[in-house]
Amino acid sequence: MYLMDYHHHTNHSFDSTASMVEVCKRAIENGIIEICFTEHFSVNPLAPTYGHMVFEKYLSEIRACQEQFNSQLTIKAGIELCEPHLLKNQYDEILQPLNLDFILGSVHNLNNQKLRLALKEDHPTAYERYFNELYQMVSTADIDIIAHFDLMKRYAYKEHGLYVFQEHREKFEQILKKAIDRNIGMEINTSGLRTGLKQTLPSIEIIQLYKELGGEILTIGSDSHTVEDVGANIAEAYELAKQCGFHYIYKFEKRQPIPVKIV
């Protein structure tokens, strides 16, 4: 099977110390054929991500890894944007000249507060606020994939419990229909399987709904922040995609989605 892992963070992200070379080596060890680096990036001075990324150094290291592992691993250059529907012009100005392969869009903050803090201040409506923000993102942002669709549950589940799918189904349909209309796909993020959450992000119900609504563009990502997590639960995510009726997982080349058949 052509295994791909399209969500990695290294020391180019503020919350990782992993090296690109070691990530590539671990991917090869774990039978991954293609990876994409997707470092955190924000143009918002109030976001913790702000000011960490130096694109010249980032892209230079990716090119060096592409040369070093040329015959063993396909390596793509991507980015994970924080709230890319906000300050959109600033994002466009910086990113358009870079000719990246892949852009993940994420909501990590609500009104300039980390999700964990937003949850603490107003937990009864935190899920609703988060999903509303997600809808705003898919409505206007220039992105390829929605990262970890129901991320809020990572911070909520221990103290406040998981959201009830049916309570938010109408909003999920709005988000997914808008994404499909704009040719924005979704990832199966395996990071939740490595915690007490024991779920992918998003949940299987959202993956199934995406398929029911006609969604096809699906990527798989470990969301690794350490070398040890590279490729974690990727094969499991492929099986989940098959279970939900998907026949293809997508890779990206210069922001163009390319289907790869699940064998």
Give per-residue pLDDT as tens, 93-132.
999 999 999 999 999 999 998 998 888 777 778 999 999 9
Residue 244 has pLDDT above 80, yes or no: yes
pLDDT of amino acid 47: 87
Report the first-to-last Cα separation within the chain, whole angstroms.
Answer: 6
Q: Read off the amino acid at residue 206.
A: I
Residues 49 and 82: beta-carbon distance below 8 Å: yes
pLDDT of amino acid 263: 83
> Who contacts 59 (Cβ-Cβ below 8 Å, separation ≥6)?
77, 98
> Who contacts 249 (Cβ-Cβ below 8 Å, separation ≥6)?
4, 218, 219, 220, 238, 241, 259, 260, 262
Structure-token pair, residue 7: 């969500």
Q: What is the mean pLDDT of residues 219-226?
A: 98
Question: What share of the chain has pLDDT > 70, as a percent?
Answer: 100
Q: Read off the amino acid at residue 132.
A: N
Mean pLDDT of the chain: 96
- Considering Cα of 192, then 9, then 143, then 76, what sign does the dihedral take? negative
CA distance 53 to 17: 13
pLDDT band at residue 31, thresholds of 50, 70 and 90? very high
Residues 122-166: pLDDT tens digits? 777 899 999 999 999 999 999 999 999 999 999 998 888 899 999
Residues 110 and 155: beta-carbon distance below 8 Å: no
pLDDT of amino acid 116: 86
pLDDT of amino acid 124: 76
Domains observed in the chain:
4-261 (3.20.20.140)
Q: What is the SS3 assignment for 261?
A: strand
Residues 39-81: pLDDT tens digits? 999 999 988 889 999 999 999 999 999 999 999 999 999 999 9
Q: What is the mean pLDDT of residues 179-201?
A: 97
Comparing 17-31, 38-52, 114-128, 167-181, which segment has the lowest mean pLDDT?
114-128
Crossing angle of helices 204-212 and 234-243, in 10° steps, is: 50
pLDDT band at residue 239, thresholds of 50, 70 and 90? very high
Token look-up 């007490």 returns: 196
Phi–psi pair at 63, nearest 5 degrees: -60, -40
Give the CA diameter of the chain.
51
Q: What is the CA radius of gyration of the chain?
A: 17
CA distance 15 to 64: 22
174 CB-contact burial (10 Å; exposed 0-12 / middle 13-18 / buried 19+): middle
Give pTM, 2 decimals. 0.96
Residues 188 and 131: beta-carbon distance below 8 Å: no
CA distance 107 to 3: 27
